[in-house]
Structure 1
Amino acid sequence: MLDRFFGISDAHSTVHREIRAGMTTFLTMAYILFLNPSILGQAISLPNGDAGPQLLTATALAAAFGSLVMGLAARRPYALAPGMGLNAYFAFSVVLGMGIPWQTALGAVFLSGLAFIVISFSGLRHLLIAAIPKSLKLAISAGIGAFLAMIGFVNAKLVTDHPVTLVSMGDWMKPETLIAMAGLILVAALLVLSVRGALFLAIVGTSVLAIATGAPVFDGASFGGFTQGLLHLPAWPSDLFLAMDLAGALEMGALSICFTFLIVDFFDTTGTLVALSHKAGFAADLDKPAGPTSKTMRFAFGTDALATCFGALFGTSSTTTYIESAAGIEEGGKTGLTAVTVALLFLASLFLWPLASAVPAAATAPALIAIGAMMFFNVTHIEWKDPAESLPALLTILGMPMTYSITNGITLGLVSYSLIHLFTGRAARVPILCHFLSGLLLARMLWLGAA
């Protein structure tokens, strides 16, 4: 039955190989179970205490739903989970930076998912892909990487604020910094050695080090033990489920937030799906390298959009396709059974949520820095010799960590790109839609503030 439904034999694979590939993919992306609650938990405060357990449940459910739909509908070996970068934007830019209530931010995530659904099943998908210059697509990815690395530096206490120089070196003898530096060396070594699940294993290893040494990195204290045991019934996200504020998200000031969620999620998904399709040998899924338009890709994009809406209902930021799916593909995963296996493993993880209490911010900081490095490699494909391309790209990349806002980085990049081409007589080379998006972002900056 599995063979017929997923076309396993037709894909020259086996059930055993598909399941093994799914286990490999899960191991490489399981870090999100700890990292997403760690990031969102800094912005989401609940009346009944720590939001971590509920956020872990929301993370696992969103990942399980997205991966399951991808496996059953698109029947491709691509796994989904709440996206890195978008969760940082949600927590640090929108909620903590702009002062937007987290309920309103969840409403913005849900609305961006609805817009993504419309784009996924219409011709708008190709128009948007074509409208954003290649250099800025690459710069957005690299800028988010720099932003994540910056958050990692802050969480590790490697840098601190300074009244004159804005930032300065932190006290590297603090327990948080020493533990984080050890974790950074560990994750680097595992990545160099091509160890499967390097990020996950580094988070676990660094947490074990923090516990074993008694370092006061758990909210200023040593680890207090598993008071509720290792296995426990899932912590239902009762304070997060349906807590989103759609009315607040529809206000003028919040619409730009929806736009940013949509743009970042859309292009992140586009790049990931195109890369995974080529790696898995599904280049036929792509009618054009820059614009996937086949039926399979419509289902894949639609799954990403549906998962974003589903995740917002349960209290997490945008859900997206993970490039870590390449690990499972490398293991031989070729069908949707790989993604379904990932979904089942995320569901199983719901009963292990007490483990999250043993993961301090100092253990997730190295993973953030490592992910930032992985995303930053895109700068190598930017045309640095052309100022019309390089300057907007640089503004995009530096704008995100320097202003602690993904929106501001995208705004600086798009607006400068349009203006440079306008004042050099090359405006006709830029798609009209790109100029239109730049105008919207400029209007937001001028009249709504650049927070």
Structure 2
Amino acid sequence: MLVAFIDRVFQLKEHKTTIKTEVVAGLTTFAAMSYILIVNPSILGLSGMPIEGLITVTALAACLGTLLMAWLTNYPIALAPGMGLNAFFAFTICMSREIPWEAALGIVFYNGILFLLLTVSGIRKKIADAIPDALKIGVQCGIGLFIAFIGLKNANLIVDNPATFVSLGDLSEPAVMLAFLGIIFTVILVVKKVTGAILISIITLTVIGIFIPTENGYLTSTPSGIVGMPEPIGNTLFAMDLVYPIVNFASTWDLIFALMFVNMFDTIGTLIGVSKRANLTDANGKLPKMGRAMTADAGASIVGAGLGTSPVTSYVESATGAAAGGRTGLTAVVVGICFLLALFLTPLMVVIPIMATTPALVMVGIYMMESIRSLDFDDMASVATATIALMAMPLTFSISEGIALGFITYVIVKLGVGEYRRISAITYILALVFLLRYLLNLK
């Protein structure tokens, strides 16, 4: 009876799959993306957010977003707080702009509302088509470099230097060397296509950290237990400040736009990649329920803001589940259940040292750099745009600055070579607005 119900709800026969296959695919996807339970709190905690409960928030946001995707689309796509988006939240909004994290959550909420309205109205597609590919590539690669740079900085592999701004850290320090070897170990696992490579790396480094002494004990502290109740989320639940972004709109509009921009193209790229792997596209190579999938993404970000986390988005790691045979929303449901169950392992997760997350951040950065292959290197305007955007993000420690400089570079170069007709009206407008922001020092 139950089997027949599941088959009917998820249309398993129509998609030529089985419950067993979908469950295995769901477990595979969870293993590939479960590192976010550890990495997201470590990044958001740097924004000033109370770190207690952030593991719970991350798991709940991932669970609800993934279940929403399964309900609206019946696709094997999982969601969680996005890498890059969480870095934007912590380092650009909270640290660089000195905006309180409560107000940053308000910005995330309005980003979700804007994303939802653009999706429902159909304007989203027009914006996506109007933005030059070079800028999309530059932004994705730049975020990858930014995330990797954060990981290297957290492990003291890269440190500040008054003469050269940055320099190599002290590799004679056991923790620093361990982080470096952890990166190499993770790359080897990924190259060998080991399922859950990033999670395995985090666990391995955490275990080794038990034997590395520090001034206050050991690199990895002793957990209070193995299983325990999830941490409460009262500190962040509905803590978002919805007034600040409105009152200070002149200094927050670009942040809302940048979040929407990054979230939109991150989601579109993930959906296209995963849908091709799962054979979900139609005869024209398009995803039939793209609008619903984007709606799920936007809705998940709104819910995530209420819980207390950065924007929630579709995860490219869903491709691992698709490769394992996942074809329906049942795969996503299994992922959502796994995130809930993981909450009861919080005592183990809270003792993971930040150094152990470095390989995860670097590996995510490497993954995001793959899109550079799509750049047209015969078009110097495109190369310049992508290069400026991807260099600016880690060097200015700001995703929004990279986006702004990318827009300005593209438009001015195209105008300079007489190719003004190839620039869309939207790109013209955004480049002008960003340029005026710099000239008038509107930050």
- TM-score range (shorter-chain normalised) is over 0.9
Aligned to 1:404: 397
Contact residue 182 and residue 206 of structure 1 kept, 8 A: no
Tell me the distance in 2 between the aligned counterparts of 1:416 and 1:311.
34
Match of 1:281 among 279, 282, 289: 279
The 5 A counterparts of 1:203-242 are 203-211=202-210, 213-216=211-214, 221-227=218-224, 229-242=225-238
The 5 A counterparts of 1:114-153 are 114-153=113-152
Aligned to 2:159: 160
TM-score, structure 1 length as denominator?
A: 0.94
Aligned to 1:23: 27
Question: Which 10-residue stretch deviates more, 202-211 or 377-386?
Answer: 377-386
Deviation at 1:45, TM superposition (A): 3.9
SS in 1 for 2:240: coil
Match of 1:8 among 8, 12, 31: 12
Tell me the distance in 1 between the aligned counterparts of 2:59 and 2:141.
27
Aligned to 1:379: 372
Tell me the distance in 1 between the aligned counterparts of 2:77 and 2:235.
30
The 5 A counterparts of 1:414-425 are 414-425=407-418
Question: Which 10-residue stretch deviates more, 245-254 or 409-418?
Answer: 245-254
Alignment partner of 1:330 is 2:329: no
Deviation at 1:370, TM superposition (A): 1.1
Match of 1:442 among 411, 423, 435: 435
Q: Indicate the percent of aligned positions where both proteins have the same amino acid.
A: 38
The 5 A counterparts of 1:186-201 are 186-201=185-200
Tell me the distance in 2 between the aligned counterparts of 1:318 and 1:57.
15
Q: May I ask how many residue pairs the two structures share in their alignment? A: 437
1:366-393: per-residue Cα shift (whole Å, max 9, x none)?
Answer: 1111111111111122122322111111
Match of 2:333 among 335, 340, 351: 340
Match of 1:248 among 244, 248, 266: 244
* Inter-CA distance 313–420: structure 2 relative to 1 (3 Å threshold): same
1:277-319: per-residue Cα shift (whole Å, max 9, x none)?
Answer: 11111111x9676xx6x4x111100000000011111111010
Contact residue 107 and residue 248 of structure 1 kept, 8 A: yes
Tell me the distance in 1 between the aligned counterparts of 2:208 and 2:154.
17
1:398-426: per-residue Cα shift (whole Å, max 9, x none)?
Answer: 00001000001111111110111122221
Match of 2:301 among 293, 299, 308: 308
1:247-283: per-residue Cα shift (whole Å, max 9, x none)?
Answer: 1122221121111111000110011111111111111
Match of 2:45 among 12, 27, 41: 41
* Inter-CA distance 210–283: structure 2 relative to 1 (3 Å threshold): same
Tell me the distance in 2 between the aligned counterparts of 1:166 and 1:351.
43
Aligned to 2:69: 70
Contact residue 392 and residue 402 of structure 2 kept, 8 A: yes
Contact residue 175 and residue 212 of structure 2 kept, 8 A: no
1:189-213: per-residue Cα shift (whole Å, max 9, x none)?
Answer: 21121100000111111111111x1
One-letter identity of the residue aligned with 2:261? I
Deviation at 1:444, TM superposition (A): 2.8
1:188-239: per-residue Cα shift (whole Å, max 9, x none)?
Answer: 121121100000111111111111x13339x875433122x22111112100
Contact residue 157 and residue 172 of structure 1 kept, 8 A: no
Tell me the distance in 1 between the aligned counterparts of 2:325 and 2:74.
15
Deviation at 1:76, TM superposition (A): 0.3
Tell me the distance in 2 between the aligned counterparts of 1:242 and 1:39.
20
Contact residue 175 and residue 216 of structure 1 kept, 8 A: no
One-letter identity of the residue aligned with 2:109? F
Match of 1:259 among 241, 257, 278: 257
SS in 2 for 1:225: coil
TM-score, structure 2 length as denominator?
A: 0.95
Alignment partner of 1:429 is 2:422: yes
The 5 A counterparts of 1:92-103 are 92-103=91-102
